[in-house]
Structure formats: C-alpha cells, structure tokens
Structure 1
Amino acid sequence: MRSGSGNHTLTWFKGFITALAVLLAVTWSVGIQPAEAKAAIKSSVSKVKVGGRTFTVQTVSVPKGTPVTLGLAKRQVGQTEAFTSIVKNYHAEAAINGAFFNAYGGPADPYGTLILQGRVAHFGGYGTTIGFLKDGTALMSSLYHSLTGKVTDDKGNSLGWYAVFMNRTPADGASTIIKYTPDRGSRVGFTGGIAVTIVNGKVTKKEVNANSLIPKDGYVLVFTGTEKKSSDRFHVGNSVEEKLVYKDAKGNSIPWENVVTAVGAGPRLVHDGRVELNAKAEGFNDPKILTSAAARSGIAIMPDGSVLLATVQGATMQQWAAIMKALGAKQAMNLDGGASSALYAGGKVLTQAGRPLSNVLVFGSNVK
C-alpha cells in the first residue's frame, strides 16, 4: 500500500510540474511578460579628442518621451533667476540653459524663439531651434514666424495688421509693433506708444501705454514710433483675428503647430550626422560665436530619438561641432554659453552657471 501510494504521489507531482511549465510558456507567448525597466536619465563624463586636443565633456542622456518644458525665470519672459532655483521650481530631473538673452544691462529679454505648453512666448529671428512634440519627438530647424491678422468693425469692414516681436521691450526710439501675452507677466513692462487690449477676440481698450495690464484671457498690442498710426484701425468693440505661421530660413511654411516646447539659439552644429556649421548665415556676428573659445552648452538628437545635453569648457564653435559629431549626434545645435552654461541631473549641478539665467530646458516626469 505505501509503495503504491508513493508512486501515485510522484506521478501527480510530475504532472503538476508539466502543467505549470505549459502555463508559463503560454503566459509568455501571449505577452504577459515581466515589465521592462524604464529608461532613465543618465549623466556621464566623456573624453573627446578633436584636432589633437582632448576635451572633457559633461553629458546627460535623456530618453525619448521624457516630459520636457521650458523653465522661465520667475515664470515670466524677461526676468532672470538662479539656475538652481529654476530647476527646483519646475521639479526638473535634468536641465540645461537655453536661449541667449540680454545679460549685460537693461531688460533681460531673450533673443531666441521660446515655446511653452504649445504657446509661443517669444519670437526669434535667427539661429536654430529645437522643438518637442507632445510624445517627446524632437525636431530641429531654422525657425521664423509670421504673425498677421485682421481687425473688423461692426459694419464688416476689415483691415490687416501684423506684429514684429512678442514679449520684449522695444529699443529706444524704435518704430515697431509688439504683442504681449500673459507669459510676459501682468504688465507689458515699459511705457510709451499706443496700447490696444484684446480680450476674447474683441478690442476692449485703447490707450497711451502706461505699462499697460495684460489680460489673462487676451493680449496687448503696443505700437511705437511711426507705427503708432497703425493703431488707428483699432477701435473698442472691433473684432480681431490673428494667424501665426512658422517658416524656415527660405520663407517656406513648416509644420511646427504641434510643437509644445521649443528653445531657439544656435548655430547648428550637426545635421543628419555630419558637421554643418555656418554661424554667419544664421545671423551671428559676435566673435564669441565665430572665432573665440568659451564654455559651451549644446543639445543633440541621437539616432534613437533620445536627447543628449552637453557642456564643455574652452571650445571654439568648430571644435564644439566636431565634439557633438564624435558623441554620435544625428542633429545638434549650440545653446547659450559662457557664464550661462549650466547643466543639472541626478540631483546635482554638473555645470554651474556663472550668472542668473533667463530660460532653461527642464526634463522629468514631474516637470510643470
């Protein structure tokens, strides 16, 4: 009896093991598999030899699809703030300084294109811009803007209008038209010119600009110098329409309407895996860009769609382009540098900015 019972138990156990093996095989085949580890932001130091010289490059690799936004100093265009403060305020897991800005007296207005949460916050008129779609796909291109519209009276008569700049202080004596949105803050930030306030597509106010209020659900157009006469076509109660078109350097329309985050700087360093550098053609004339060696910050799109953030000390732009190519960049561009060069990842500052900054690209699961 005992021997028979033992054989029965052994047979049952072997059958159980066989059934379990089949179940595991079926489970694996239908896709119920162990979850793969999520790609993480990683920092490293690379030694790159260019032209007989070895450069130490601090890099941060950001997986494709990582949420990204534009961190504005004090959450306004035209302000400055410590790099570490911006990183903290936006809950960044990785960050790098962004567009050039006026750091030498006067308003700290940026120079490049800025887009955040799908809104254009500043127009750039030169260089190269990196943009991100909602799914994290990165684009890189020369980028220009055309902002036009029409104003219509109660009789149906319409006249056209346009704006040259957005959210910046005009130069003294300038004749221009500038649009101000809530990304500038609560007020336009200067006095003079004629201010036209538009709320929900209607002109609600027209006045001499005395640092006019910017409505949260609208914008202000300010006309200065000889362009003041262009404000004559706007009257309280008129309907106002606007149209923003993205263009490349040749004036052709390009599909950037779905870009949710962007920073413009430049020049372009790498295009489709090859060094491509023509700073003068992109509108740069400063020797700091054309010939000098300096601290550099840059951003690259890698062949797998991930993004590489990088900083280096004492490189010319030609060396910087060669370094980015050596790091494997498919597309790459320069960002603001010198004392603005800054990099953060892994809970610590990897490259410390030498001055307060205007804007920062911030990455991480909780950026906001």
Structure 2
Amino acid sequence: MSPILLTLLCLTTTGATNAQELPKNSKLLISQLSAPPLKGMVSSGNQISLNGRTLPGTWLQQSGKAGQVTTHISDGPFRQLIGVTFLNSNSSAKQPIQWFSTATTPLVLATRLVGAYRYLDITNFAQASGWQIQTNGNILVIVTPKAQITNIVQSQEPPEASAPLQQTRILVNLDRPTPWQVAQGSAIAKPQTPSSDPDTPTPKPTTPPNREWTITLDGIADPVLIERYTPQPPAAAPTLLPNLLKQLLPVTPTQPIPPAPEPLIRQVQVVKNQTIISLSVPFGLSPQVKTVANPNRLIINIRPDPLEERDITWAPGLRWRQHYVNLGTERFPVVWLEVNPRKFGLTLKPMWASPDGLGGTAPLIQTAQRYLAVAGINGGYFNRNNRLPLGAIRRDSQWLSGPILNRGAIAWNDSGQFYFGRLTLEETLITANNQRLPILFLNSGYVQSGIARYTPVWGATYTPLTDNEIILVVQKDQITQQLPGGKVGGTTVPIPPDGYLLALRANATSAASQLPIGSAVSVSSSTTPSDFSRYPHIIGAGPLLIQNRQIVLDAKAEKFSNAFIAEKAIRSGICTTATGTLMIAAVHNRAGGYGPTLAEHAQLMQQMGCVDALNLDGGSSTSLYLGGQLLDRSPSTAARVHNGIGIFLKPRS
C-alpha cells in the first residue's frame, strides 16, 4: 500500500484509521488505496503548526534533485490560513497566486494531485518569504518572521465601475507580509432604547442586525491603534434632577434623535501574538480582502458584491468557477464546479454522515474527507431533530433510503450518464398466498401511517418512530417475530443482517393478523418513472427545476410548504449541460439582500446553461467542497448535513 495514501486515509476529522471504519458499500474508497506511491516522498501529515498554533491541514515533503527536500501544502489551508488569493488558471499543473505581490507578475506554484487533495509546491515561496519550516511527526511546523501593524485607516471610496455605490475601505499597513485569515461570525444584537412612555412598546428593529467579521493577522499592532479602537464605556445614566425637571417644565415636542451609526471597526486587540480586527458589517455587505506590496497592506473593501470572479482548472476535467449572474437588476453570487465525468476518470457517489448507519449529521467538509472525495456538495433533506433522511439515497444499485412525496431526484451511472425526474419507489410485500401489501417507506425518517421497511443499512437497530407500532422481524424471507413497539424511542429492536424489519403504523397495524410468525414473504420493487431503475446512484431532494432546458418548477406538486416556496434563501443545485458536463452550484445572497427564491433559482440555473437541474437542500446546509476546503462560505457558518454527492478520482492503473 502506498505510504502517502495510507497517511491520507487517516487525514480525517472523525479519526478513522482503517478501512473497517469506512461506510458500508464503499468499494471506491478501498480502491483508491491501490494508487502507486508518490516518488521520492519523505514525510506527510495532517496538521500544520503556524507560529505556534496547530491547525488541520494536509501536507507532504518530497526529495528532489541533489537531495533537496520540497514542501507541498494542500490548497485549502494555504488559502485559508495564509491568506493567499488564487488567480485564474487554465492549467491544472500550475496555480498563479497573489500574496503581497503585484497582479501583473503573479507567483506561479506547481501543483500535483495525490489522493483526494491537490498540493502546491511552496518551497521557493516560503524561502523568499523568510519562513522557517521543519517537521514534527505528522505536524508541519511553520514559523514566519515577526510582523508589525503600523496603521489602520478607514475611508470612504468613491463609486467605480466594479462598485457603483460608495464603499467603505480599511487599509491595514504592515512592515512586512504576514499570514492573515478572515472569518464570519454571528449576528450582533442591536441595543434597544426603551420607550420613555410606559404605554408605548419599545419599537422592534426594522433592519436585520449587523454581522460580525474578524480579520486576524500574525503580527503585533502598535499600541496607539489598540487604544484608538478600544470600545468606550457606555454613557452614564441620567441623574434624578434632570428627570424631575422634565416632569415639571412644559414639554416641547421634538424629533427623535436617530441613533448614531455603529462604528465599522468595533475593536482591535492583540491575542497571543496575533492582531484581531473585529468589524460590525451592516446586512447586505461583506468584506473583500486583498493584499498589495510596496507598501505591504491589507485592503478591506466593505461592499454588497464581494465575490471575486474565478475560473481555475483545478484538475483535469474539474473546473472551479465563480462570478455574479444577473437576473434583471439583481446580482447573485454563484460558486460552482464543472465536472466532466466522461473523459478524465472522475466518478460521482452519494455519501452520508454516519459510518454506522443512516442516522446522524456532520459538516460536509468532514464527510467528504472521510470518504476521500476530491469534491462534493450537500445533497437531500433530513430531519434536523432526529437526524434521519427525508429522501432518496441509492448507491451501487442498493437503496439506502427511499424517496418521499414524488419529489425531484437525480440518477446517474459511472459512465457519466444522468437522469432527472420526480421519483417514486413502489415496494410491495407479497405473502405466500399472493396477498400484496404496499410498503410506503424504506429506511426513511418521513413518518406516516402505513408500512415502513428498515434494512441493515439503517443501522444495527431500529427504535420506533411512532407510538404503538407493531414490528415484524423478517429473516431469510420469513417472518420470525412480532413485537410491540410501545412508546416512541422506548424499545430498541435489532435489525437482522439477513433480513429486515417491517414497522406497521396506525391503521396498518391491522395487517399483523395477516402476517403470522412463520409466514413466507418477499418484496418486489420498482420505480416511477421506470428509467430510474437503470441507474445505480440516486440522490433525491427537490423541487425539480429544469427538464430539457424548460423550467418545470412545481413545488406545490412536490408537497413543499408555501413558506418554503416563497423564501429567499441560499440555494444548492446540480445540473447537466448540453455538452454533458455536470455542474454543482451554490447561490448565495444577492448583492445587498437575501438569496434567490425557488423561481429565481430555476432562472439562474437556466441562464447558466443547464439542460436538466435539481434543487438540493439549501440555507445553512449549502456547502461546496473542493480538496479540503469550502469554496462558497466559511466553515464556521456551514450547518451539519446528513448526505451529499461526492466526486472521486478513479485510481490510475
């Protein structure tokens, strides 16, 4: 087995260290370990110590000419921990970058794909930057030169072609280049001034609260800057005498004084040799951070459209793109991956959070790394309370979870063929005397009256999801037990590895008398449309957006609520184009406002060239993953999800 790939198998946040801990039916994962070893590989690991702080990040070192050791870091931590900007590239072997350098002469780093990651050769870059690098077991230790932050200046910039509105700019001056990170925090609650009239309720805020953002630099700010941006204590409460005078003197009506705008820079502080600049950014705006040289500066522009256009060939057949797509006067930031699964050894597989069954959620970045996926996107819906699936999951021709409510789904095979439609799974329990009973749900968290079936992929056991179920144990096509389910969550029933359980709910419990112990039973299964049965992999979500280039959105028919239909929210989508390319896309909040409605999402996907398109779970679930990083958002703002669609590199022969 390749040493580097064995190491990469361990590079997971769940701690999986051997093939037995991987999900069932994951032959693809095991096959990735058969790739040839990396020539000259000296060491590798999954942690990076940056100026004393140990953080997750994959790396490797390789011996080169004349015994020189070269250092390679995967591009996720290189971007997010160091603050490097990736520039457009049409070669997967080279990545131009910008880091305290000029855009006219960008630095170009060599890249290589190993396992599920792309690595950048940072040897010369680190040497030119004065970094000290050494290894300590699986930790790559990086120490950068000490930097000083000499000034922080806020100004208003006039409108320009790329930003038609006036924007606020913050300049952070440094004596030398240094790593920096940007992170989005939580909403900042606005203090409410109580009404002076006890009979008048305190007015509710009419605008969404500001959002906290932090810019963290490896450097020490001048004490004058810390003092300048230290929050002042609140004003003292009025004394009793002025209040008495107000009651005795005639009251002259006055216009209410509007509250002073909240300062953009909330605080500057130094914590453990890092300077943290905390910002209070109004709703609809976000920071766009760039670096320049001569003098060395961070330029932080606060603008409604911070997304920078990108078109990067990340691997053969895998392209990372992002830009704004216009719908009338609205501008929507879209980040997407274009995948050509027919020509370049890329395959797609469903993936789910738990290695021990279908219950559970995890950040997509964690699930993708556990599966050794090169890229991925969140998939279908799930119950956030019990973390159970609410839609179709089929992998390698085996149903993991059945569809619900005739909702939209995507199906595909390993040859790069795809099929979109609204999907129903029709399972029937057939008795020895040819009695037929419909099975309405398969391994599903969607709970309704009727018969539901639970197979070993659900997990080792089943716990009743409704009161007073009757549980039938089926082994080797024969009913071996009838058990009372009791109260919700009160009983745990083992699922036989050579069979399944039938949960009879509500009015379906009467069928138990027709299914005595010892009865022989079988299950027939088919899909509507029947075309779905021809594909080994399926993910269900919905609603279906586009078929044959035409918008076919009908969220009511797929039983989505009116509130869901009307909501303006961040969206995920998957589609195919006329050239057979697959696109997985994340659409975030429009410039200055909220995300698209479902109707707008369909129009955006159509405008991007989609022939067939499906809406995936969205909102905080939306996550677009590539090589150890989320492309569309900060990991801290991404919710835990149940399942997703992974993109894998086929092992080379």
Q: Tell me the distance in 2 between the aligned counterparts of 1:60 and 1:207.
A: 49
| Superposition deviation, residue 261 in structure 1 | 1.4
| Superposition deviation, residue 325 in structure 1 | 1.2
Cα RMSD for the two superposed structures: 2.1
Matches of residues 251-290 of structure 1 in structure 2 within 5 Å?
254-288=530-564, 290=565
| Superposition deviation, residue 202 in structure 1 | 2.1
Q: Tell me the distance in 1 between the aligned counterparts of 2:623 and 2:320.
A: 14
Deviations 1:119-172 (A, max 9, x none): 2222222321001124231110011121113122xxxx342222111223575x
Q: Tell me the distance in 2 between the aligned counterparts of 1:56 and 1:244.
A: 42
Q: Which SS does the other structure have where 1:315 is aligned?
A: coil
1:71 aligns with 2:326: no
Q: Which SS does the other structure have where 1:294 is aligned?
A: coil
| Superposition deviation, residue 360 in structure 1 | 0.8
Contact conserved, 1:194 with 1:231, CA < 8 A, in 2? yes
Q: Tell me the distance in 2 between the aligned counterparts of 1:330 and 1:175.
A: 37
Q: Which SS does the other structure have where 2:435 is aligned?
A: strand
1:133 aligns with 2:410: no
Task: Note closer, same or farther for the CA distance 1:160–1:275 as it changes in structure 2 (3 Å cut).
Answer: closer
Matches of residues 188-227 of structure 1 in structure 2 within 5 Å?
188-190=462-464, 192-209=468-485, 210-227=491-508
1:100 corresponds in structure 2 to: 381
2:528 corresponds in structure 1 to: 247
Task: Note closer, same or farther for the CA distance 1:90–1:358 as it changes in structure 2 (3 Å cut).
Answer: same
Q: Tell me the distance in 1 between the aligned counterparts of 2:602 and 2:510.
A: 47
1:115 aligns with 2:394: yes
Q: Tell me the distance in 1 between the aligned counterparts of 2:649 and 2:368.
A: 13
1:308 corresponds in structure 2 to: 583
CA radius of gyration, larger in: 2
Percent identity of paired positions between Structure 1 and Structure 2: 25
Q: Tell me the distance in 2 between the aligned counterparts of 1:302 and 1:91.
A: 26
Contact conserved, 2:405 with 2:558, CA < 8 A, in 1? no
2:616 corresponds in structure 1 to: 335
Q: Tell me the distance in 2 between the aligned counterparts of 1:366 and 1:81.
A: 25
Any gaps of 5 or more consecutive residues in structure 2?
1-314, 486-490, 589-594
Q: Tell me the distance in 1 between the aligned counterparts of 2:577 and 2:497.
A: 39
- The worse-fitting range, judged by mean Cα deviation, of 334-343 and 311-320 is 311-320
Deviations 1:205-258 (A, max 9, x none): 32223321112222111112231121222233322111112114xxxxx22223
1:48 corresponds in structure 2 to: 325
Aligned residue type for 1:364:
F
Task: Note closer, same or farther for the CA distance 1:200–1:365 as it changes in structure 2 (3 Å cut).
Answer: farther
Alignment TM-score, normalising by the size of structure 2: 0.46
Aligned residue type for 1:92:
A
Q: Which SS does the other structure have where 1:364 is aligned?
A: strand
Q: Tell me the distance in 1 between the aligned counterparts of 2:650 and 2:631.
A: 20
Deviations 1:21-74 (A, max 9, x none): xxxxxxxxxxxxxxxxx9422211122111212221100111134322211111
1:15 corresponds in structure 2 to: none
Aligned residue type for 1:295:
I
Q: Tell me the distance in 2 between the aligned counterparts of 1:198 and 1:149.
A: 11
Alignment TM-score, normalising by the size of structure 1: 0.80
Q: Tell me the distance in 1 between the aligned counterparts of 2:464 and 2:362.
A: 20
Q: Tell me the distance in 2 between the aligned counterparts of 1:215 and 1:116.
A: 21
1:180 aligns with 2:454: yes
Deviations 1:83-103 (A, max 9, x none): 121111111111101111122
- Compare the two structures and name the one with the higher helix fraction: 1
| Superposition deviation, residue 358 in structure 1 | 0.8
Contact conserved, 2:546 with 2:611, CA < 8 A, in 1? yes
| Superposition deviation, residue 361 in structure 1 | 0.8
Q: Tell me the distance in 1 between the aligned counterparts of 2:325 and 2:445.
A: 41
Q: Tell me the distance in 1 between the aligned counterparts of 2:650 and 2:497.
A: 25
Aligned residue type for 1:188:
Y
Q: Tell me the distance in 1 between the aligned counterparts of 2:642 and 2:562.
A: 20
Contact conserved, 1:110 with 1:358, CA < 8 A, in 2? yes
1:149 corresponds in structure 2 to: 429
Aligned residue type for 1:143:
L
Q: Which SS does the other structure have where 1:320 is aligned?
A: helix
Contact conserved, 1:146 with 1:246, CA < 8 A, in 2? yes
Q: Which SS does the other structure have where 1:231 is aligned?
A: helix
Contact conserved, 1:115 with 1:121, CA < 8 A, in 2? yes
Task: Note closer, same or farther for the CA distance 1:280–1:40 as it changes in structure 2 (3 Å cut).
Answer: same
Aligned residue type for 2:426:
S
Contact conserved, 1:194 with 1:207, CA < 8 A, in 2? yes
Q: Which SS does the other structure have where 2:532 is aligned?
A: coil
Q: Which SS does the other structure have where 1:74 is aligned?
A: coil
Q: Tell me the distance in 2 between the aligned counterparts of 1:271 and 1:160.
A: 35
Aligned residues: 316
